[in-house]
Copies of this chain bind each other. A is one copy, B any other.
Amino acid sequence: MTPKLVAGLEPPYYTAVFTSLRPEDPEGYAETSDRMEELVEKVPGYLGSESARNPGGIGITVAYFRDLEALDAWRLDSEHMAAKARGREQWYDSYSLHIGRVERSYSFERE
């Protein structure tokens, strides 16, 4: 699959920036990650996400949401909450989450 950027977002919207450090491929992580992707796509107001990880290093996921209601629906999803608890117990060495309200954005695409 050719990677693509999330496009066509019109402000205002929200970015949830999740940055993390963890060992490579910890047990159970990949399945849970796939399941979370499946779940978040059902949240009304979820607009897409992008993820990148340096081999052996930092990982960044940006998820886009239309409004705080969408973000809160995802934050309070019970399966997601259980996954977050497992992440703190078993997978992550450290992580940060930054919730930003986007008023200004810009996209470029080569013709």
Contacts and interface: CB of A to CB of B under 8 A. Distances in A.
Contacts of A35: none
Contact of A62 (B5, B17, B93, B99): B17
A48 to B, nearest CB: 11
A58 B96 contact: no
Interface of A is mostly: strand
Interface string A9-52: 10000110101110000000000000000000000000000111
A54 to B, nearest CB: 5
Nearest to A89: B110
B105 A99 contact: yes
Contacts of A54: 3, 51-53
Interface residues on A, range: 35 or more
A5 B17 contact: no
13 contacts: A5-B21, A7-B96, A15-B15, A15-B98, A50-B58, A51-B60, A92-B108, A93-B109, A94-B109, A96-B108, A99-B104, A99-B105, A100-B101
